[in-house]
A and B are shown apart, each in its own frame.
Chain A
Amino acid sequence: MRLASIDVLRTVAIVIMVVVHFLENLSGVRDWSPDGFGAPLFAFLTGASTRLWATARSQRGTPSQHITLVLVRRGLFLFTLGLTFNLLIWLPDDLWTWDVLTFLGTASLLLAAIRHMPTAAAILCAALAALISPALQQIAWYHEWWANGYYEPGETLSEICLGFLVVGYFPLFPWIALPITGYLAAAPLTSPARPKSNPPPNADPNLRSNKHRPTTPQRPVLLAAFGLISVSIALLLVGTQSPSALLRWTMFPASLPYLTGMTGITILLLFACHHWLDQASAKPLPIPGLRTAALFSRYSLTLYLLHHAVHIWPLWLAGLWLNGEPTALWAQALNWKLSLALACVFLAVTPTLLAAFDRRRIPTIETLMRWLCEDSPTAAQHRTRHFQE
């Protein structure tokens, strides 16, 4: 099930992410860059697309156990890829920084379990993950790990685990709340819309059956989104009167106002895009760039790896060449205008590159993931029989 809304939003997240990373890593710009908007959108969409994928598979007759198996494999693949990425891009010193890939891998593993939970338990999980995190950050002395403005990973097992759970770049808590919310919020997108057929002209208006009434399964989710945004605004207003850092809009650590606000905004964005892009699919909207959005979305993992490789490796090489230390030029190599221009050039070149990948069927990291995590049709049929037996 490929939805244009998901493609467009994922493209937006990728574009923000590319711009933010170029600006931050090459120029050290963090004050005004939109760094808090890409990652939550990406995490939320992971949950939503997991649900869409699982529902589509289920409707095609794939056994539930097999769906879980693929999700677990995908989670393990992303986790391993995340660690490999840290090793190769951020160098061995930053192996345990817990970047977004390791988080998405863990999220995929947890979503495999959350699929089997009742909705109420999944909602409780997301709510507790968000609510308990300020306490966890206090217990773990979060700010001690971020003394220089970036995360400095520890080396002992306890420190590594603490980084994974609470204090890393994308720790499990509270970030797991976003994929879970995405998974839950995507439910109305997967339920088939009831036909809004007109009742027979001679039908008694008091006896009209339910099937003639338009259903609004999106209403509770939209109400929840507005509720979350309201909570975020209320917390921020309280925060202006309080010296506590917990009530400010911060991404590192992901504060409660930030998390609730971003969750609400992403839900609204998803439903707005779904309303304008997906539900009008009977007569496709002439929006330019939908094809590019689909390409960006399909190759999002490749793009994530590629944009890091094209700006971080040259940075390390330059640092090593000029100062003998790979990270010497980090965040101070270029002025922000040049970094922004480079990001734009990368984004301009990418569609052509991805189209070539697509046309020539060049294997990408997505191909490897599918090859490792998903069965061939024959193997899937065999496994289906096995599960049925």
Chain B
Amino acid sequence: MQGPCNTLEFLPPNATLLRIVFAAAPPHGSQSLPGFSDPLNAGIHAWKLPESAPPLDSELLCIQLTPHLPDQSDAHADDSHSLPHNIPDSLLLWCASAPAARGRGAAFAALHNAQLAWAPGRAVLCAEPDTLPLVTPALLEFAWLAAELESIESQLNPRWKELHADIPAAFHTPTLTPEQQSQLRERFCHAVAAKARLVQIAPLIESPPVYPPTIASQAGERLREKARLPERLEALREQLDTFTHVYEIAAQRLSETTASRSSLQLEWLIVVLLAFEVLLILVEILSRNST
């Protein structure tokens, strides 16, 4: 169960598989997916990829499922499907086994007449046809938020080693080569950019519950809670504070060093000019005193 093709083998007849990508520009052959309102006004849209499109790392595989209403013949056939809005176990397992989930399982939210399961890169939504259009945008917004957070986390994780190496630069920079200075500048910019991104998405994660609650707002809140987005946001915030703290001091130190070098250069130039002026006077005096 690693790809969409395998999924189709056990996909129930009342289910639809969507391949969704969040991007500003439409991928080739994709269609705009209604319902996803760009949360940051950054021109991001949800695009539905055609089935024939090659798999993308950033795509979300979403199975929309309408309840299979039992008729009299199979009313007692399967206990696990006794409730009409239940997601079948096979789909739950498919969702939880998403490669990007790295064994963390799927976040599951059950509402009055809808069920949602999500793991990085995969989602299953089971709701009645009239509820489906209400819950889908909430699921998409949540998936986008979680992907953004995941992206910042994955960018930050490999940079801890660099941070440890750069800590001495916060104290002493004169020995840095221009290439190291340029690296330091780049890392500082990267840390600030990540923090800015985090600050942008933080209100969407920490927004208070909507009152009166709607099914869409409840779906979003539940998923955020189940996926532990507020906790991850807080942890990322502290990590990025550490990064920006070190790089801010290093940048300050570097800037001071550069400024002091310029000023030292100017002082040397003045000293040299004065020395030559003294030399002129000295030669004039010596010449006057010689026979």
Contact = CB atoms under 8 A, between A and B. Distances in A.
Interface string A115-150: 001101100110010001001100111000000000
B289 A158 contact: yes
B283 A140 contact: yes
Given A120-B265, A121-B272, A165 B290 contact: no
Interface string B275-290: 0100110111111011
Contact of A158 (B261, B272, B280, B286): B286
Contacts of A166: 283
Interface in A9-53: none
A154 B271 CA distance: 31
B77 to A, nearest CB: 56
B24 interface: no
Given A132-B276, A132-B280, A165-B283, A120 B290 contact: no
Interface string A100-123: 000000000000000001101100
A256 interface: no
**Chain A binding site: helix, strand, loop or mixed by DSSP?**
helix
A139 B261 CA distance: 36
A124 B269 contact: yes
Contact of B287 (A117, A118, A140): A140
B261 A124 contact: no
Contacts of B261: 118
A157 to B, nearest CB: 8
A293 B289 CA distance: 47
Contacts of A139: 280, 283-284, 287
A154 B264 CA distance: 40
B171 interface: no
Nearest to B262: A118
Interface string A155-198: 01011011001100000010000000000000000000000000
Nearest to A210: B179
B268 interface: yes
B283 A162 contact: yes
A165 B279 contact: yes
Nearest to A136: B283
A162 B272 contact: no
Interface string B225-247: 00000000000000000000000
B283 A121 contact: no
Contact of B272 (A124, A135, A140, A154): A124
Interface in B117-141: none
B269 A120 contact: yes
A277 to B, nearest CB: 28
A128 B286 contact: no
Contacts of B175: none
A154 B286 CA distance: 12
Interface string B151-191: 00000000000000000000000000000000000000000
A165 B289 CA distance: 15
A364 B287 CA distance: 40
A162 B280 contact: no
B286 A118 contact: no
Contacts of A161: 286
A5 B54 CA distance: 60
Contact of A154 (B265, B273, B279, B291): B291
A378 to B, nearest CB: 28
Contacts of B291: 154, 156, 159
Contacts of B276: 128, 132
B290 A156 contact: yes
Given A139-B280, A141-B287, A128 B268 contact: no
10 contacts: A118-B261, A118-B264, A120-B265, A121-B271, A124-B272, A124-B273, A128-B272, A136-B283, A140-B286, A159-B290
Given A118-B261, A120-B265, A132-B276, 4 more contacts: A121-B265, A121-B272, A125-B272, A154-B291
Interface of A: 117-118, 120-121, 124-125, 128, 132, 135-136, 139-141, 154, 156, 158-159, 161-162, 165-166, 173
